[in-house]
A = this chain, B = another copy of it.
Amino acid sequence: MADVARSAGVSLKTVSRVINGVSTVDVAMAARVRDAAGQLGFRANFAASALRSGSSSATIGLLIKDLSNEFYATIASGVAEVARAHQTQLITAHSGENAEDEMEAIFDLCRRRVDGLLIVPTGGNHSALRSEIDLGIPMVFLDRNPVGLDADSVVIDNYAGARDATLTLISEGHTRIGVLVDTLNMPTMRQRVEGIHAAFAAAGLPWDDTLLSTNVRGPAEASIAVERLLSLSVPPTAFFCGNNRSSIGALRTLWEQRRTEALVAFDDFQLAELMPRPFRVLRYDNRALGTLGAELLFRRISGEIFDPVTVVLSTELCPRGIQNFQ
């Protein structure tokens, strides 16, 4: 900048004024400055500017597990859209393998003075983030509430969704329902299973724990779990899949064996309606996790003061798969 000022024969401040296009500058002078800047390949340094003026970094952070998973990618897409509307850049960081990595990633983003943080937590305790929030970096949690910290969040109504879907299955005459879930360490999964239990209790039906397959991490495990359940002496007449990854494995196995058991699956997914057998999904507004979370965050960033909010997204049972399959 000093070079530009010298070359244009003006002061530093004049260059600054021209670059920022704020206060009026003599037209000829401004032209000289612009010429010099062009000549010298001058590029404003955003960080230096923000440092001195104390303005914000115009950046928010998103902490997420895995962009190659449709669920997370859709959240990121929603966040990106809102960030863009606020002329804010988005840093997407990966939470890594464990709670420690996740915290490290969060602290890194705080050092970078992001204006705010959206976090899809993977585990651990978040009480250490209290100080960061108090120091002025608001955080909104997505898909799961923070642990040990009272902060904004946008979550899905896992409990009621699972309970109501199970009640629907029960009303259709099913009394034995095979359940496939990922690790019960995930609160979301626990909530879904609790909803199923609640439905059985409400219907006065006994719950048989042998029908619960846990640690179903993906489609392959889901296939195995379905086969195990089908081979029981009294097999289930319906299946409940805890997430879309397990439902894909279950669908494949049920289709391959031409089984007609009912299937209800948490999470909608692309092309679900072209699956080769009918089933139902518990869908919710996946993208809204990102958009509502980001909007909440920007309210905080703008300085609005309000008690921590938890937005709960409701679910809806929808038919999927090819119905008139032959």
Question: Which A residues form the contact surface with B (CB < 8 A)?
Answer: 41, 43-48, 50-51, 57, 59, 66-68, 70, 73-74, 76-77, 80-81, 84, 89-94, 96, 108-113, 131-132, 134-135, 248, 251-252, 255, 269-271, 274-276, 287, 322, 325-326
> Known contacts being A73-B67, A73-B68, A84-B94, is A112 close to B46, with CB within 8 Å?
yes
B111 pairs with A44, CB closer than 8 A: yes
User: Complex formed: what's the CA distance from A201 to B197 in Å?
Assistant: 65
B94 pairs with A91, CB closer than 8 A: no
A93 contacts which chain B residues (CB < 8 A)?
Answer: 89-90
A47 CB, nearest partner CB in chain B, Å:
4
User: Complex formed: what's the CA distance from A278 to B269 in Å?
Assistant: 21
A61 CB, nearest partner CB in chain B, Å:
8
> Known contacts being A94-B84, A248-B271, A271-B270, is A131 close to B51, with CB within 8 Å?
no
A269 contacts which chain B residues (CB < 8 A)?
Answer: 271
Quick one: which of B41, B51, B84 contacts A47, CB cutoff 8 A?
Answer: B51
Give me 18 other A-B pairs in contact (C-beta within 8 A), A47-B47, A70-B70 excluded.
A41-B135, A44-B111, A45-B113, A46-B111, A47-B51, A66-B77, A68-B73, A73-B77, A81-B94, A89-B109, A91-B91, A252-B274, A255-B322, A270-B271, A271-B274, A274-B274, A274-B275, A276-B325
Question: Residue among A91, A110, A255, A271 with the most chain B CB within 10 A?
Answer: A271
B110 pairs with A47, CB closer than 8 A: no
Quick one: which of B77, B84, B251, B275 contacts A68, CB cutoff 8 A?
Answer: B77
For A273, the closest partner residue in chain B by CB is B252
User: Complex formed: what's the CA distance from A239 to B94 in Å?
Assistant: 40
For A90, the closest partner residue in chain B by CB is B92
A81 contacts which chain B residues (CB < 8 A)?
Answer: 94
For A108, the closest partner residue in chain B by CB is B89
For A74, the closest partner residue in chain B by CB is B68
A274 pairs with B248, CB closer than 8 A: yes
